[in-house]
Amino acid sequence: MSGNPVLPKIRLAVRLAALLLLAGSGGCAAAAGPPVAVSWIGGQSMIFGEDEFTLLFSADGPVSARKLAAEYDDRQARLTLTVDGVELASPLPGRVEPGSRLVSRLWLAVDDGRLVITLSTVGLAAAEWLRLDDDGRRWAAIVRRLPEDGGYSRQGVSKAVKGQRIVVDPGHGGSDCGAIGPDGIREADVNLAVGLKVVELLRDAGGDVRLTRTADVDVCRPGASDSEELAARVAVANNWPAAVFVSVHCDAVDRAGANGQGTFYYPKQTDDLILANSLCDSLDDLLGLSNRGGREAGFYVLRHTAMPAALVEMAFISNPGEEKLLAGQDGQFRFALAIARGIADYFDLKVRQAAAAGGDGKDG
Ligand SMILES: [Zn+2]
C-alpha cells in the first residue's frame, strides 16, 4: 500500500463501537478486544440522543494528543477529524451511514499516514478528542451540537432567510394523491409532511413562510382542472408577493430501479438556476442520493411564478428503498432540512453577492 510514513507507524483499529443507546444496559460496550483487530466494524455510536455523537478508535500503540485534530467549517456544516501517523490494516468502508440526528453523513479516508473522518452535521457542532485510557491507545471524538449563533439557526439554516417571504408548495393533495409507491405510500402525503417541516425550520430561522396547502386538500377546489389547480398555487406566491417559490414532489417512473434527487427550474432570470443549484447541493449534502442536478423544465408553476422558483423531486417514490426513506420520519426530516437549508443558502448567497457588488470596504 502506501510507503513508510516518517512518523512511527501505529496500526489503528478504528471501530465505531455500536453503543446502541445504552438502553437499560448500563456500561460501555466499547472497543473491546485485542488492538490488533484492525478491521472496520462499521456502525456508529450515538449515546446521548440527538445532541451528541461519538466515534471511538483503539490503536496498538500510544497516540499522542498532538496527532489528533478537529476542525469545523460552519459554512458547510462540516466537521473534519484527523489522526496523524497511522496506518490501517484493513480497507475502510468509505462512506458510513451514521443513523444520527446530529451527523447526517460520514466519510472515512486514509491519506498518506493520516486518517481523515469527515462528518456533515445537522446544525452547528464542535468536537473534542478524549483519551479513554492511560497510555493513549483508546480515544473518542465527542461531537456535540452547539447552540445557535448569530448566523445560523440551531439546525444550521442560514439566518439570511430572516424576513424573507417564501412559499412552499407541497405538490398534489385532495382529489389528486400524486404518485403511489410500491408499498402504497402516497406522494401527496409525503410532500405535505416534508413541506410542513420545511416551514417550521425556515420560521425558526426567521423566515416569513406560507404553504399553498396545510392539509390533504385541493388548493383551488375539488374537481378543478390541472391548470386551475396549478394557477391557484402560483397565485399564493404572486399575490403576496413572495421572494421565492419552492414546490415539493416525489418522482416516479415505471422502472423500480430509477433513483435519486433532482431539482427543476425555468430560466426566467439567473436566480432560478441559483435557487435550483442551492437546493441540489443541500440535498446532496444531507441525503447523498444520486444527484441528477438542477435541470431546466417548463412546469407550469415554474413558468408562471413571478419570482425565482424551483421544483424539487426529492427521490423516487417508485423505488422501494427510496419510498421507505420518503415515508420514514428520519428521512422526511432530512429532506425537509435539506430543502430549508437550500432555500436559506440561496438568500445567504444573495446577501453576499450584494455585499460584493457594493464593495463592503473590508480588507479581512
Ligand atoms: Zn408530483
Query: What distance in angstroms lies between residue 53's CA and the mean position of ligand 1's atoms?
Result: 35
The grid cell for 223 is: 374537481
Partners of 310 in beta bridges? 246
Average pLDDT of the residues in 305-311: 98
Residue type at 215? A
Q: Sorting pLDDT into bands at 50, 70 and 90, what band is 13?
A: very low
Look up the pTM and report it. 0.69
Query: What distance in angstroms lies between residue 313's CA and the mean position of ligand 1's atoms?
Result: 8
pLDDT of residue 309 exceeding 90, the answer is: yes
What is the per-residue pLDDT for 362?
Answer: 43
Partners of 71 in beta bridges? 80
Query: What distance in angstroms lies between residue 219's CA and the mean position of ligand 1's atoms?
Result: 14
Highest averaged pLDDT of the listed ranges 34-43, 120-129, 140-149, 252-261: 252-261
Position with higher pLDDT, 158 vs 56: 158
Query: What distance in angstroms lies between residue 333's CA and the mean position of ligand 1's atoms?
Result: 19
Taking a 5 Å cut-off on Cβ, the residues next to ion ligand 1 are 171, 178, 249
Distance CA 246, CA 238 (A): 13
What is the per-residue pLDDT for 307?
Answer: 98
pLDDT of residue 35 exceeding 80, the answer is: no
Beta-carbon contacts of 16 under 8 Å, excluding residues fewer than 6 positions away, are 41, 42, 43, 44, 45, 55, 56, 96
Distance CA 144, CA 103 (A): 10
Domains of the chain in sequence order = 11-145 (2.60.40), 159-354 (3.40.630.40)
Query: What distance in angstroms lies between residue 187's CA and the mean position of ligand 1's atoms?
Result: 7
What is the per-residue pLDDT for 50?
Answer: 65
Give pLDDT tens digits for 104-156.
Answer: 888 888 777 788 888 888 777 888 888 888 887 787 888 888 776 668 887 88
Query: What distance in angstroms lies between residue 294's CA and the mean position of ligand 1's atoms?
Result: 17
